[in-house]
Amino acid sequence: MFLKKVRNRESGILLYGISPPKAQSTPEKLQEIADKGLIILRTLDIDALVVYDLQDEAERTAEERPFPFVSCLDPHVYASRYLRELAIPKIIYRPAGKFTNEELTLWLNDLSKQTLYPVFVGLPSPDSVPKTTLTEAYRIWRENHQHDSVIGAVTIPERHAILKDEDARMLDKMNCGVSYFISQCIFNVDYTRKVLDDLVAACKREKRHTPTVIFTLTLCGSAKTLLFLEWLGIHIPDNVKEALRTSVEPLTLSRQIATRIANDLAEYCVTNDIPFGFNVESVSARKEEVDASLMLLNTVREILNVARTKAAQKAKKSLLAR
């Protein structure tokens, strides 16, 4: 159970991330899309489904967006109305700054009536003036729902590479009640390890447990997708970028790269006693990319099973050594 695993700081959490359909779709079309998705989603052995809130990030950079922005249905509406038959927890992203205190209060109350868990995110542009700050949003959650829910946040290794303060940001959010973090899509393991190194050190200084960190893995099936990932601010090492750009089967190669990343991060977290999991992202409508994401999900599940075994063996040795 997702709630229990987060509260108990158990490693092995496995998520699957999707985006809602286009907002301009008719109700009939939305139900058709949902019904097709449910056929796949019902078969998945996962702890929770992540439903993203896609925002137009054009103001974040002057570079042209590789794919045009298309407004999507509110993730809460999609999860609670069209995916209501899916009997697993759902994690709903929400840009808190777009809503007033009253609106967020009502939204959180509605989530609490279902098996839905919030992840607050910031606004896409640093110049945007929020109606509610993240700190205020966390306070509203904490005052009303901390006893029957958990709340997550996003962590961005690329931000730490520039500002060197991602560990401090994470600690601040932990002080607000956040108990787990879902990363931005990861291609640069070194960036991610640096965040974790600094986070572990900071938690030791403050004599507190490290939070659960869930690493997002995504696939890159084309040169245009590669450009889009970079446009989003995801750092892809030059050797990885060149390999994907020149590969005749980029989707297969991308799955192999994601598998290596998962193995590396699993080993790191077991070694450093960090509770962790993975979120396999699938936001493409192309069948071959959806199929590849499901293959990656199965591979990652195996990696988590091996990691749990290693963690148990390590804990046993530590206990015997006392």
- Which range has the worst mean pLDDT, 120-124, 144-148, 195-199, 295-299? 120-124
Tokens for 304? 């988590």
Average of per-residue pLDDT values in the chain: 93
Site of tokens 């080993």: 267
Position 80 in a domain: yes
Position 320 in a domain: no
Q: Identify the burial level of 105 via C-beta atoms within 10 angstroms of its C-beta, where 0-12 means exposed, 13-18 middle and 19 or more buried.
A: middle
- Which range has the worst mean pLDDT, 2-6, 70-74, 298-302? 70-74
Position 75 in a domain: yes
Position 319 in a domain: no
Residues 137 and 120 sit within 8 Å (Cβ to Cβ): yes
Of 23, 114, 132, the closest CA to residue 72 belongs to 23
Position 123 in a domain: yes
Res 57: pLDDT: 64
What mean pLDDT comes out for the span 64-91?
90
Position 63 in a domain: yes
CA distances from 1 to 46, 83, 88, 195, 210 (A): 9, 19, 9, 27, 20
Q: Say how far apart CA 314 and CA 33 lie, in whole Å.
A: 45
CA distances from 105 to 30, 114, 136, 148 (A): 27, 15, 11, 15
* Residue 50 parent element (H or E): strand 48-51
CATH number at residue 255: 3.20.20.220
What mean pLDDT comes out for the span 197-202?
98
For Cα atoms 297, 300, 303, give the angle at the middle one, nearest 5 degrees.
Answer: 160
Q: How confident is the model at residue 58 (pLDDT cuts 50, 70, 90)?
A: low
Position 51 in a domain: yes
Domain count, the chain: 1
Position 322 in a domain: no
Of all residues in the chain, the percent with pLDDT exceeding 70 is 96
Domain that residue 266 falls in:
2-314
Q: Evaluate if residue 71 carries a pLDDT over 90.
A: no
